Structure 1
Amino acid sequence: MINSYAGLDDAGVAIAAARAGADVVHTMYGRRLTRVDKGAGDFATAADVEAEKTILGVIRAARPDDAVLGEEGGQQGAADAMRQWLVDPLCGTLNYAVGNMLVAVNVALRDGAAAVADPFSGEVFFTDGETARVRRDGADARLTPTHATQLVDVNLDPPFPSAPGFRAVDLLAHPGFVERFRPRVVSTTLALAWVAAGKRAAYVTDGGDLSGSVHFAAGIAVCRAAGCVVSGIDGTPIGQVGGRGLVVAADADTHGLLMSMIRSESRDRT
């Protein structure tokens, strides 16, 4: 059998894998799906599991020596592998399970190429590690961030690891935020791709170091390559030891405004 993936570069592998997973997610949408309980209110569906299997099949065919960290299957491949792929086969499982189409499929090579696929629009946001583009209807276009929409996605999902100093939900009540921005709540890394594409001005979430997270790695890579400003909620670079959360903005001014509001909220609560 001819291996149709063997000749692809890393960006091509990321795109092919993300699109393959997105096809599964799209096909299984609307069905009654078995749920796998993960505890603490979290769960996966049969679509998560099947999409990850399909994505792993693409990566194994294209890069058999690489390791993979999957949201559902965990670590696979040689422990000493030089390269590792981070896979979130269905980001936005809760949305998906209740019939909401705001979901994404994330595939990223650690410190390299990445792709975020929207199963329902058909768009794939991707980077080769240097430039960021969107593939739509067979054509590629450069991603151009802008704050023009003034829409900011804020992840409100608990837990709130930085509380009481900072909780993302409290940012929505900040007078400066209400004056300058309009909140949106998607809680999936599709929102990160939208910042890179100019559909959102920024995205904010709490948490630990998210640079190696299967949920965020692909979106962070696309945003960085598009020229967005990316940091933790304390302003430190993503990946720094002790770093927390994520603030991604279309430009430095928007990032600076959000950081000043976050610091203000933190001072008021400590």
Structure 2
Amino acid sequence: MTITDGELAIAAAEAGAAVVRSRYGTAVTRFQKSPLDFATAADLEAEQVIVDLLRAARPADAVIGEENGRTGTETADRTWLVDPLCGTLNFAARTPLVAVNVALRTGSDVTAAASVAPFSGEVFWTDGGQAHLRRAGVDEVLSPSADSLLVDANLDPPFPNSSAFRAVQLLADPEFTARFRPRVVSTTLAVAWVAAGRRAAYLTDGQLHDSVHFASGIALCQAAGCVVTGLRGQPLHTGVGGLLVAADQDTHRTLLAAVERQFASGTTTHP
């Protein structure tokens, strides 16, 4: 029987996660991509395993991987977005907070996605319908909640809106700190946690269209019923870009007001 796209996304992400686990705690060889960014052998090997599995199962589809770019035809309507190790800096520092992300974009929509936490064995996934958490082969429907009051912010560059907004300054906003508690996990696993009710919200600057890092998490949050917009509340991938995802409308409204206070001031003080 032919594997469904949802199950293929899970299988591919789990295959990558197995590589990540096998490499964890071993000597890390760094392949420098910029002065502050690098890949490891785990990134490269996990991506190769994932791409090989996807190409074997769906030879007509295109694949975009973080490390090796695009394979397959430029005109393919179906494109897999692969982030083999989101949280490379965590991984290299032997901090087991990482994710393996695999998503399928069909046309302009992500129709299947999986985000695997290699060290907990948890699989967050959607086939375009509901969002689920799979543990030990058992699925449960994800239910977002703001009860934790925890808001995860991405403090890693690039910051295309840095003249008007910096996430780090949000953490000192008195109206933010009166209601929420900030967290910086430094992996897009935290986006899936919003869908799962473990985070009240997540926000980041940046242009995220076809982002191998964020496609899975965004799809999970949309399927779970979160409020998902661009940084200023605009439709995703338009205007200033960015991402503001919240468990509910009230949380989203409160964080959006904090974002707008920065934009209204027109400038930021860079730390």
Give your verdict on TM over 0.5.
yes
CA distance in 2, matches of 1:158, 1:74: 20
Asked if 1:27 corresponds to 2:22, the answer is: yes
Aligned residue among 243, 250, 253 for 2:250: 253
Asked if 1:11 corresponds to 2:9, the answer is: no
Q: Do 2:63 and 2:82's aligned partners in 1 also have CA atoms closer than 8 Å?
A: yes
Displacement of 1:239 in angstroms is 2.6
Displacement of 1:21 in angstroms is 0.3
Q: Do 1:174 and 1:265's aligned partners in 2 also have CA atoms closer than 8 Å?
A: no
1:218-229 mapped onto 2 (5 Å cutoff): 218-229=216-227
Q: Scaled by the length of structure 1, what TM-score is found?
A: 0.95
- RMSD over aligned Cα atoms: 1.1
Q: Which whole-Å deviations, capped at 9, do the CAs of 1:20-67 have from their partners, x for residues lacking one?
A: 000100111011121111014110000000000010121112111100
Q: How many residues are matched?
A: 263
Q: Which whole-Å deviations, capped at 9, do the CAs of 1:111-159 have from their partners, x for residues lacking one?
A: 2100000000000000001210010111000000000000000111133
- Give the SS at the match of 1:120: coil
Q: Do 1:66 and 1:82's aligned partners in 2 also have CA atoms closer than 8 Å?
A: yes
CA distance in 2, matches of 1:118, 1:135: 11
CA distance in 2, matches of 1:201, 1:152: 6
Q: Which residue of 2 aligns with 1:203?
A: 202
Q: Which residue of 1 aligns with 2:58?
A: 63
CA 1:9 to 1:250, structure 2 compared with 1: closer, same or farther past 3 Å? same
Displacement of 1:214 in angstroms is 0.4
CA distance in 2, matches of 1:186, 1:231: 21
Write the letter of the residue equivalent to 1:218: S
Q: Which residue of 2 aligns with 1:78?
A: 73
Q: Which residue of 1 aligns with 2:41?
A: 46
Q: Which whole-Å deviations, capped at 9, do the CAs of 1:51-101 have from their partners, x for residues lacking one?
A: 000101211121111000000110101121121000000000000001011
CA distance in 2, matches of 1:49, 1:27: 13
Q: Which residue of 2 aligns with 1:3?
A: none
Q: Which residue of 1 aligns with 2:117?
A: 118
Q: Which residue of 1 aligns with 2:154?
A: 155
Structure 1: gaps (5+ residues): 1-5
- Percent of residue pairs identical: 60
CA distance in 2, matches of 1:226, 1:161: 29
Q: Which residue of 2 aligns with 1:238?
A: 236
Q: Do 1:104 and 1:116's aligned partners in 2 also have CA atoms closer than 8 Å?
A: yes
Aligned residue among 245, 250, 261 for 1:264: 261
Q: Which whole-Å deviations, capped at 9, do the CAs of 1:161-194 have from their partners, x for residues lacking one?
A: 2122110101001111100000000121100010
CA distance in 2, matches of 1:146, 1:79: 39
Q: Do 1:155 and 1:185's aligned partners in 2 also have CA atoms closer than 8 Å?
A: yes
Greater alpha carbon shift after TM alignment, 250-259 vs 75-84? 75-84
Q: Which whole-Å deviations, capped at 9, do the CAs of 1:179-218 have from their partners, x for residues lacking one?
A: 000000012110001000000000011112x131001001
CA distance in 1, matches of 2:103, 2:167: 26
Q: Scaled by the length of structure 2, what TM-score is found?
A: 0.95
CA 1:266 to 1:243, structure 2 compared with 1: closer, same or farther past 3 Å? closer
Displacement of 1:160 in angstroms is 2.2
Write the letter of the residue equivalent to 2:256: M
Q: Do 1:116 and 1:193's aligned partners in 2 also have CA atoms closer than 8 Å?
A: yes
- Give the SS at the match of 1:180: coil
CA distance in 2, matches of 1:222, 1:75: 23
Aligned residue among 84, 90, 96 for 1:89: 84
CA distance in 1, matches of 2:94, 2:28: 11
Q: Do 1:237 and 1:243's aligned partners in 2 also have CA atoms closer than 8 Å?
A: no
Q: Which residue of 2 aligns with 1:170?
A: 169
- Give the SS at the match of 2:67: coil
